[in-house]
Structure 1
Amino acid sequence: MAGEFSRTSRIGDQLQKELASLIQFEVKDPRLGMVTINEVRVAKDLGYADVYYTVLGLDDDQQRLADNQAALDSAKNFLRHRLAKEVKLRIMPHLRFHYDATVVNGARMSALIDEAIRKDNSNPTDQE
């Protein structure tokens, strides 16, 4: 049971919790929207952490998504410094932020499936 989760995944979970709190309460950039941290993947050597995020309500607005990416990129050194105070690690990974489009793509795929089912139901064929 102790070997179920690797050290890097436990560190990633801790960084995810701390980053969500720090971004919500401490980053005061007006370009930043309602950011949700979906996942943090930490490299085995703790050299970097890939942070995957979504932004509430901005799925189609590419300019606002770019503004959010720029805001997170400009705040990453501040966030890393604050994380180093909150999470006791000898080496604090460098942060790399990536927009996570899986939620948007999943919703789009679901809508396409629903549309295909509606079309099939509205155009019944005789299959006797």
Structure 2
Amino acid sequence: MNNEVSRPKRVALEIRKTLAELLHTETKDPRLAKVNITECKISKDLSIATVYFTIIGSNKGDVEVTDAVEAFKKASAFFRSEIGQRLRLRITPHLRFFYDEVAENASEIEILIQKALHSHDR
């Protein structure tokens, strides 16, 4: 079996790391202050990177999430430029940002499981 990680996965991982670093050190926008990059997926041709994020203490419908999406849209050219310079990619992917609902959904499922177990014990 081939144990090597595919190039798109390696590039996605590097983009995720670079974005996290940029958010921590370079970004001044307060709407992105509590953002965590959770995942990055990239197309096979490396032209589009889909970046997922969460915000500490926020849920999908919160104003903070909407504000963060707008801030990412405004700053996407900056992020793309920095990624291109730092990673020295021949083609720098276009960045798309989405709120990551996985943790929120997992929390809801955990609550449902606990309720089911509790009602079963009665």
TM-score scaled to structure 2, two decimals?
0.92
**Cα distance, 1:71 vs structure 2:** 0.8
Structure 1 gaps, min length 5: 124-128
Could you list the structure 1 runs, at least 4 aligned residues long, displaced by more than 4 angstroms after superposition.
none
2:56 aligned residue: 56
Tell me, which stretches of 5 or more residues in structure 2 are unaligned? none
- Bigger Rg over Cα: 1
Q: Percent identity?
A: 37
Tell me by how many angstroms 1:33 deviates.
Answer: 3.6
Contact 2:37 2:54 in 1 (8 A): yes
Count of matched residue pairs: 122
Q: Does the 8 Å contact 2:60/2:101 carry over to 1?
A: no
Instruction: Render the CA deviation track for 1:101-121: whole Å, top value 9, x for unaligned.
Output: 011000110011011111221
Aligned partners of 1:33 and 1:56 also within 8 Å? no
**Shift of residue 4, structure 1, vs aligned partner:** 3.4
Are residues 39 and 116 of structure 1, via their aligned partners in 2, closer, same or farther at CA, if it must alter by over 3 Å?
same
Q: Which has the higher helix share?
A: 2
State the Cα RMSD in Å. Answer: 1.5
- The match for 1:66 is 66
- 2:13 — aligned with what? 13
